Amino acid sequence: MSAGDIIRENDDVLIVFDEKRRFIVKARKEGVLGTDKGVVRLSDLIGKPYGSIIKTSRGIEVLILKPLPFDYSLLVQRVTQVIYPKDAGLMIYLSGIKPGSKIGEAGVGSGALTVMLASIIGDSGVLYGFDISEKSLENTKTRLERIGLINRVRLLKHDIREPVSLGETLDSFFLDIPDPWNAVNTVAGLIKTSGTLLVYVPTINQVEKTVLKLRESGCFTDIHSYEVLLREYKVDRDAVRPFTRMVGHTGYIIFARRVKSVI
């Protein structure tokens, strides 16, 4: 067991009570997490291996895990609309980003997608995050600092619909603003040829306007639009069935490739 598998003071810990109750806390010498299932003393976490089971003051067993970027994205304080993990997963897969990639994101919002992107590009990569809201930028910065990913991200207060120069071209760009069609020209100037653009919008009218603008620009091709529906299954012996509720429509994803010119 490596040192990183043992919880130390000030480490983040995911405490899982059940499917609905999940909390990210810091292991500290003082303080408690109070719930209807009992109290967890934060000092009890220190020295325990991640993956252990501990008990609350009421004797309820809870699981303590190392938080994943997925967990942070679900538990962030939502100051704006959040891109759900099911959508973010497809966007990241289509983007082709990897350690060392240089990427952009406009509309960082609550920082949920920012955290996932920063976790993938590694210390050799860079993420330029744009937003017009100072509050969103501050919240995202705080979250990245807590997770230890801030060194990979440069947060900029700028309206991506207006021209901007970064001094380098990007491998991929993620766009999540109300009117992405008005940012197509700016974003086209930031992405290297053959690079990828991923756009997230909640309504089909936005899909239509964005796709038409991408085509008209002459800068993008291989344009596709997607919707992701996620259904989880409950599995017991001799009884396998889908859960009654499923994560249906949350938004639409538009994918495109940057080219010099469309023939």
Tell me, what CATH number does 199's domain have?
Answer: 3.40.50.150
Could you tell me which of 209, 230, 221, 228 has the C-alpha nearest to residue 255? 221
Phi, psi dihedral angles at 151 (to 5 degrees): -70, -15
- Are 142 and 237 in the same domain? yes
- Using CB atoms within 10 Å of the CB of residue 120, give its burial: 0 to 12 exposed, 13 to 18 middle, 19+ buried: middle
Domain tally, the chain: 2
The parent domain of residue 8 ranges over 3-67
pLDDT in tens, the chain (263 residues): 566 689 999 888 999 998 778 888 888 898 888 888 888 999 999 999 999 999 999 998 999 999 887 787 766 655 556 788 899 999 999 999 999 999 999 999 889 899 999 999 999 999 999 999 999 999 999 989 988 899 999 999 999 999 999 999 999 999 999 999 999 999 999 999 999 999 999 999 999 999 999 999 999 999 999 999 999 999 999 999 998 887 788 899 999 999 987 55
216 shares a domain with 95: yes
What are the structure tokens assigned to 25, written together? 């806390």
For residue 263, being part of any structural domain is answered with no
Based on the fold, state whether residues 39 and 159 are members of the same structural domain: no
Same domain, 118 and 33: no
pTM score, whole prediction: 0.82
**Hey, what are 46's tokens?**
């220190």
Binding-site entries: 110-113, 131, 159, 176
Show which of 39, 67, 95 is a domain's final residue. Answer: 67
Same domain, 82 and 185: yes
Annotated binding site for S-adenosyl-L-methionine: 110-113, 131, 159, 176
